[in-house]
Structure formats: C-alpha cells, structure tokens
Amino acid sequence: MKRIVIFLAALCLTIGSHAQSDNTAVRDSILTSGAPNSFSINLGVTVGATLYANGNDHSPYYSKYGFSVQVPLMAHWNVSPRWCLSSGLRYDFCWDPLYYAVEPILGEWRFEEPQVEFGLQFNQTATTATQKGYAFRSYIGIPLEVKWYPYPKYRNYFGVALDCYAAFAVKQFFNIENILPHSEGFSSDGYHSDFNAMNPWKLEVGLSLTTGKLGLVHGFRLFTNLLPTYTDPTTGEKIYSTGMTIFL
C-alpha cells in the first residue's frame, strides 16, 4: 500500500512539473482562429444606393442621390489573419437622377437634327409636362483594396477597408424624359455626351465599413472622385462627386 501511495505522489509531481514547464502562450481563439485560405478568387454582384454631398447643388448636373450595380472579379490575398489585400477587375453601372429640370444646349442644325451639343442648362421654359433627367455611366476598372478585420474568427461580422478604383467609362450619356399630362403619353430623348461634359475617367478613393449581420444592409462606403465627374462646356466649371454609398 505504501508503494502505491509513493507511486501516485511521484506521478502527480511529474504531471505538475510538466504543466509548469510548458510556457506556450494560449491566445484568444476569437482573434486567431477561423482565418480563411491565404488566396482566393471570387465573382460577385453588389447593389448600392448613393447619397451625394451638396457641394454641386447650384449646377444643372447635380444629383441628390443615385444607384449602382457592381460586378467584381476579385483576387484576395490574406496577408495575415487580420489583413487582406484584394485586386482584380470590376464593372460598374451607375445611374443618377438629375435634381433639376434641364435641357441640352444645342448647336447648329443640319438635316433637321442638332449636330453639336454644348452641355446642359436649367430649363427656363414654362411647361405643363413633367421632366425627368438621368445620367447613365458604365465603367470598367481596376480596384485595389486593403481590408482589416479586428476579429478574424468572425470576419463576416465587421471589417474596415481602404480602397482605390481607377476606371474608364465605356458608355455614358444623359437621358431626358418629358411626360405629358393626361393621356398624351410621353417623349424620351437620349442626349449622348458628345460634348464631353462627362469625364470618361474616374479615380475614386474610399473608406468602407462592411458587415454581413445587419440584414439588408451590408455596409457603407464614404468616397470621393479625385477627377471631375463633369466639366461644364459653357463655363469650364469642374463638378466633383463626393458622397456615401449604402450596400444592400
């Protein structure tokens, strides 16, 4: 019996000394586990609603809000559990309702059609019709994004990203609809940007907060275009775009 007691005591001392000699730090699993593979490629679709700043509310090119659809083909490189670097190719389709009733400034006429357009101006003609103007743009460009996750195990909960998007507009134009009263119908005229009011190049920088746990809202992005979105041909004024996009 004495030998059994001595053996058990020695075994306990051995286990205790082994536990005390193990100095490996155990980190919080919330911060270290759950990180995805180091490299991945995905194709997605994002829909957003944009609220523009009021810096251009004196211009006929001003939009109070707009909508966008993004189709990104992105490669993601997880540099560490907290940091991710992404780049690839992205297509953006944007349409912005013009806030004011506007009309094009037409140049000389040939064969009963205007040959030159010099931009947009406020519509000063009294009319009983309802007018709606839109700016449409389709961009193809290269995004570059750096994203930080405070809790890598729960990346879907929260992330902070800095991004830059350089793009070229493959198609852009204005469209003005005049809706007549009663049953007279409506007329729609597309005014393409041959007068170069729309800048085909875009260079946006943005700060995003992303989440996948708020139902319909998946984050928002504060952005500014470093290049002018419009250049008024009549005055030479450069119209820049700044605002906030809410992603659905």
Question: pLDDT confidence of 23, banded at 50, 70, 90?
Answer: very low
For residue 164, give Cα distances in angstroms to 115, 130, 197, 204: 38, 39, 24, 6
Question: pLDDT confidence of 195, banded at 50, 70, 90?
Answer: low
Tell me the pTM.
Answer: 0.78
* Better-predicted residue by pLDDT, 85 or 177: 85
Classified as helix, coil or strand, 35 is coil
- CA-based Rg of the chain, rounded to a whole angstrom? 29
Number of H helices, E strands in the chain: 2, 16
Classified as helix, coil or strand, 129 is coil
With tokens 């030159």, the residue in question is 116
Q: How far apart are CA 75 and CA 43, in angstroms?
A: 9
Break the chain into its structural domains and give their ranges: 40-247
Q: What is the architecture of the domain spanning 40-247?
A: Beta Barrel (2.40)
**pLDDT at site 124:** 80
Residue 9: in which H helix or E strand, if any?
Answer: helix 2-21
